[in-house]
């Protein structure tokens, strides 16, 4: 299908190498790079779509929307769903698209799995996610929790009706460890554990989806290479993250060019936040929490 025109994109990100890497892979767009919002505002460049992290101050985001610019938020440390709602309203008033996207959905392995779910793999029955991180701040930890919950909900294709969560109480140990257990209508389940207590160095992620006609396993363990330098070999991970942000931005560009409504992304991200809040309630109460469907 022939797409109608080219989009002018303002790409706001503090790391030049990342901006350039993403921009180099985009089609149907002209890209101008900015280090931060102030840089963007000071150079007052004409554009159609602004791409930036959701950790920016809500006022910056509201200003962009009020200026009738489409906005793609790379989901991260979004304050809460109340602010999301105000951004959504502002986008509606301005008649522009506000999209919130979790970059993890665009990892090639996750895209591969998502294409198979509901297709060759059948319906998901049990999704298991491990994410182990070296030390992070509390905001980053919460961001990872919401991102991983979003990934699970996206793969499950539905909203859980039950949440049970535990937090490890290890006196004196820095960092956190959470364990989340989701139940879905129809019997599906998910397990997630998340920690930022690993020693300094690389983290670990693993995802498995057991489904009615098959299964998928995306595990850092499988993607390790070995380095021998005496003593025990080291494990080196062959990374898959080169293209995920470009893929995510391209999808938004194409959606805007085709006039496709991106507001569902907001609802999905909000759902992940609701589940994250339920995680907190479950930990506090020691009980499973029932949540309504969306």
Partner 1 sequence: MTKSPRFRCAVLSAVKHDYVARGVASHPRFELVVVADDPDVPKWAHERNQQFADANGIPYLRDVQRALTDFDIQVAIVSPEAERHCDLSIRAAQAGKHVIQDKPLATTREDANRLVDAVERAGVRFLMWNRNFLPAVLHAREQIESGVIGKPYAIHADFYFAKDAGPTKGSRLPGYPPIDWQAHQIAAHVDGADGGLGREPMGELAVEGIYPLGYIRFLTGASVQRVFAGSTAFFHQAHADNNVEDLASVSLEMEGGILGSIAIGRIGLASHPSGGEIKLHILGTEGALVINEGRPEVGIYYKNQPAKEARQRRVANDNDFLLAENFARAIDRNCETVLDAKAARAIFATVEAALQSSRTGQPVDVRV
Positions that interact with partner 1 (CB under 8 A): 125-126, 128, 130, 132, 162, 164, 166, 168-170, 173, 177, 179, 181, 183, 187-191, 193, 195, 197-199, 204, 206, 208, 210-215, 217, 220-221, 286-288, 290
Q: Smallest distance from the beta carbon of 239 to partner 1, in angstroms?
A: 17
Cβ proximity to partner 1, 230 vs 286, nearer residue? 286
Contact 153, 264 (CB under 8 A): no
Q: Smallest distance from the beta carbon of 272 to partner 1, in angstroms?
A: 20
Cβ proximity to partner 1, 103 vs 125, nearer residue? 125
Contact 195, 176 (CB under 8 A): yes
Picking from 201, 131, 189, 108, the residue whose alpha carbon sits closest to that of residue 156 is: 189
Q: Smallest distance from the beta carbon of 214 to partner 1, in angstroms?
A: 5
Q: Smallest distance from the beta carbon of 235 to partner 1, in angstroms?
A: 9
Scan for tokens 């129809």, then name that residue. 186
- Residue 62: how many CB atoms within 10 A of its CB? 18
Q: Smallest distance from the beta carbon of 221 to partner 1, in angstroms?
A: 5
What does the buried/exposed string (b/e) look like for 66-87 if buried means 16 or more CB atoms within 10 Å of the residue's CB?
A: eeebbbbbbbbebeebeebeeb
Q: Smallest distance from the beta carbon of 82 to partner 1, in angstroms?
A: 29
Query: Beta strands 70-74 and 49-53: pairing type?
Result: parallel
User: Quick one: tokens of 129?
Assistant: 């996610």
Cβ proximity to partner 1, 184 vs 269, nearer residue? 184
Give the angle subtended at the CA of 200 by the CAs of 196 and 201, to the nearest 5°. Answer: 105
Cβ proximity to partner 1, 40 vs 164, nearer residue? 164
| Cα–Cα separations (whole angstroms), residue 184 to 74, 164, 166, 203 | 27, 12, 18, 29
DSSP 122: B
Cβ proximity to partner 1, 97 vs 129, nearer residue? 129
Cβ proximity to partner 1, 20 vs 225, nearer residue? 225
């Amino acid at each position: 299908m022939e797409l109608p025109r080219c989009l002018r994109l303002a790409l706001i990100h503090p790391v030049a190498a990342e901006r350039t890497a993403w921009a180099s892979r985009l089609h149907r767009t002209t890209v101008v790079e900015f280090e931060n919002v102030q840089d963007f505002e000071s150079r007052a460049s004409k554009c159609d779509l602004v791409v930036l992290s959701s950790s920016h101050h809500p006022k910056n985001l509201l200003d962009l929307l009020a200026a009738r610019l489409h906005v793609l938020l790379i989901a991260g440390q979004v304050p809460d769903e109340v602010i999301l709602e105000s951004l959504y309203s502002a986008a509606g008033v301005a008649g522009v698209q506000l999209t919130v996207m979790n970059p993890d959905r665009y990892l090639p392995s996750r895209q591969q799995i998502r294409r198979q779910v509901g297709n060759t793999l059948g319906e998901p029955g049990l999704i298991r996610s491990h994410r182990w991180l070296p030390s992070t701040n509390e905001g980053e930890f919460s961001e990872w929790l919401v991102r991983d919950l979003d990934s699970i909900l996206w793969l499950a294709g539905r909203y859980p009706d039950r949440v049970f969560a535990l937090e490890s109480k290890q006196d004196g140990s820095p960092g956190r460890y959470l364990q989340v257990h989701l139940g879905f209508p129809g019997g599906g389940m998910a397990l997630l554990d998340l920690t930022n207590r690993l020693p300094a160095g690389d983290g670990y992620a693993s995802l498995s989806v057991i489904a009615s006609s098959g299964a998928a396993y995306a595990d850092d363990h499988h993607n390790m290479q070995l380095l021998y330098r005496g003593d025990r070999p080291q494990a080196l991970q062959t990374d898959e993250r080169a293209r995920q942000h470009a893929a995510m931005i391209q999808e938004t560009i194409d959606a805007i060019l085709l006039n496709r409504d991106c507001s569902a992304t907001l609802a999905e991200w909000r759902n992940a936040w609701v589940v994250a809040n339920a995680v907190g309630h479950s930990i506090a109460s020691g009980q499973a929490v029932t949540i309504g469907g969306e």
